[in-house]
Chain A
Amino acid sequence: MSNAMTETTLAGAPEAARAPLSARFAALWAAAGVRCAVPVVVLLAAGFLAPLIAIFAYSFAPPRSFDVFRAFSLANYAELFSPDNTVWLSFAWSIGFALVTCALLAVISYPIAYGMVFLFGRWSSLVSVLFVFPLFVSENVRLYGWVLFFIKNGVLDGSLKWLGLGGAPEVLYTPGAILAGMVYTYLPFMLFPLTLGLSMVPRDLIDAARDLGANRFQIWREVEVPLAMPGILIGMLLTFVLAIGAVSEAKILGGQSVIVISHDIEIAFTYAQNWPLGSALAVLVTAFIGALTLAVFARLDLDRLLGRR
């Protein structure tokens, strides 16, 4: 029966090939999941994919022009890759900041995530609310709080003087301050994926390993890390990717002493009015982030990670 059907379809090609297409579309539409997915997919196509296509198209327009789709030029990329352009320095700063942020956050968040999953019990929901809440306060307000803390005659400096210990060291407007700001801003983006990952580790397995004589380090290396890997990967990727594009930290805590890559893009789009160059830069950042994200996503099973709750 099904054989016969296939044969007729093949025999009727190419004229008849149009009918199966609409039939296939109808079959696709009949799936409730597809109908439910449509609004989100349309939104992301218009709001995420289309802008990325727009910057891609603009990156091939002649420098300082708005002639998108009408002219083709590689001049923007040539300018970015020319040896006397210092944009690679911004890239290097951003990647450096992102790498260190990611590493520090893994170390800082791991014990907290472990506590939230295995130790805090009914307190853990309070702890997670405490860590979620800062996400609802815009990062510039929170970073500004650090400025007030570290600035001359600020909270730290004033307290030390009051105690008669002399002033506080000058830490504002240095790369170290930017790094601290990034670690501070992106903490929740490492912490929550880690808790998600650690909640995939059965407590019995840890107890069993301990009963069999494994020490804390062995349990961590042989049981926790491998089983929590999806969460660890997501946390690392998320903080790395967001830190690559971070700009508020460098502007507010760094006082523009360091120009990060997103700042370069913004300058090209605003003061310099050189959209094609800014687009070319944005395309490079997007390609870098996209390649990394897709490589990690290929290894993830989201049903397993999210569905266990």
Chain B
Amino acid sequence: MEQDKLRTRVFIALWSAFVVLLVYLPLACVALASVSKGRYFAFPIRAFSWEWWEKTTDSIEISMIVENSLLVAAVVTVFSVVIAFFGALAFARYDWKGRKLYQKLILLPVFFPQPVLGLALLLAYSALGITTSWMTAVFAHMVWIVPVVTLVIAIKVYGFDPSLEEAAFDLGASRVEVMTNVTLPLLWPGIWSGALFAFLLSWGNFPLSLYTAGADSTVPKWLYAKMVAGYSPMVPALGTMATLAAAAVLLGGALLGAIVKKARAA
């Protein structure tokens, strides 16, 4: 029996490690290709060089595209977190007629293929005579990201004790005071991870940007255009940079969150 249990444990641990390896294998291949010298990729790599990284960082076109992506992600994050914060309160904090329906409505865009959503938005924009640009891409991203962030914050709201708010009201706090002194500090970790999700999901989004960003390009959109046009070592170089940037944001965000948590506890 005990031996049986041990065997299950070992199997599950090995299997999980194997799948994690497979998940990161293609990213490692992309990173390898980005530091290989020469115009074409061949393995085993004969000579390493940073030349494609340098060419990528020197390119004015690419720095414009990176700025676009950052701008879109930043605007999406600000709007999404504000809307999703209230959305999460409606999802999990308050009891109101229609809440169960609302909870399911919010999930619908998540359960919908993004290429189809992007094309439908493109058609709606043109029917309304709106020229697509990075701003329409922001809106498109929000349709998908606001529900995700709402869920992320809502999970935190479930663990939140509403009687704390009521106690503050009873002690004479105003609505704004309750919000800034009770609700926001308690929900802060959920809001912070929601913001990280919003930024990073927008940064990495491809299908929605492809159809709704118009003439403006984002990093994933540019990478795709180059991939289809034939091999260029700038694709793995920029792809690796974008991946590392996302990892840095995630690590930095988690670290900052942990520091703030510690400072609060002290």
Contact = CB atoms under 8 A, between A and B. Distances in A.
Interface in B55-101: 82-84, 86-87, 89-90, 92-100
Contacts of A293: 108, 111
A142 B26 contact: yes
A60 interface: no
Contacts of B150: 40
A134 B200 CA distance: 10
B215 interface: no
A262 B117 CA distance: 10
B214 interface: no
Interface in B114-128: 114-117, 119-124, 127
Contact of A33 (B95, B117, B151): B95
A295 to B, nearest CB: 12
Interface residues of A, number: 93
Contacts of B94: 31-33, 36
Interface string A123-147: 0000101110111111111111110
B142 interface: yes
A159 B43 contact: yes
B213 interface: no
Contacts of B219: 138
A282 B13 contact: no
B97 A31 contact: yes
B26 A40 contact: no
A150 B130 CA distance: 42
B234 interface: no
Given A41-B102, A148-B30, A33 B201 contact: no
A50 B124 contact: yes
A202 B32 CA distance: 45
Interface of B: 1, 4, 8-9, 11-13, 15-16, 19-20, 22-30, 32-33, 41-44, 82-84, 86-87, 89-90, 92-100, 102-117, 119-124, 127, 139-140, 142-143, 146-147, 150-151, 154-155, 158-159, 200-201, 203-207, 219-220, 223-224, 227-228, 235-236, 239, 242-243, 246-247, 250, 254
Contacts of B16: 111-112, 115-116, 120, 127
Interface stretch (A5-13, A79-87, A171-179, A239-247): A239-247
Given A28-B97, A131-B23, A269-B123, 5 more contacts: A39-B83, A39-B87, A40-B150, A141-B243, A286-B112
B90 A134 contact: no
A162 B113 contact: no
Given A33-B95, A145-B27, A245-B116, A43 B142 contact: yes
A162 B256 CA distance: 45
Nearest to B196: A136
Contact of A51 (B95, B99, B123, B224): B123
Contact of A145 (B30, B139, B142, B158): B30
A252 B224 CA distance: 9
30 contacts: A31-B94, A33-B95, A36-B94, A37-B90, A37-B102, A39-B87, A44-B143, A135-B200, A135-B204, A140-B206, A140-B220, A140-B224, A141-B239, A142-B26, A145-B27, A153-B42, A158-B42, A238-B111, A241-B112, A241-B113, A245-B116, A247-B115, A262-B116, A265-B119, A266-B119, A282-B116, A293-B108, A293-B111, A297-B107, A309-B158
- From A40, A58, A246, A262, residue with most partner B Cβ within 10 Å: A40
A289 B111 CA distance: 8
Contacts of B33: 148
A262 B98 CA distance: 33
A16 B116 CA distance: 46
Contacts of A133: 246-247, 250
Contact of B108 (A38, A44, A116, A262): A44
B108 A48 contact: yes
Contacts of B236: 144, 148
Contacts of B203: 136
A17 to B, nearest CB: 20
A51 B120 contact: yes
A99 interface: no
Contacts of A297: 104, 107
Contacts of B239: 137, 141, 144
A51 B207 CA distance: 16
Contacts of B27: 134, 137, 141-142, 145
Contact of B127 (A54, A252, A303): A54
A145 B96 contact: no
B160 to A, nearest CB: 11
A114 B12 contact: yes
A144 B227 contact: yes
Contact of B143 (A48, A139, A246): A48
Contacts of A251: 228
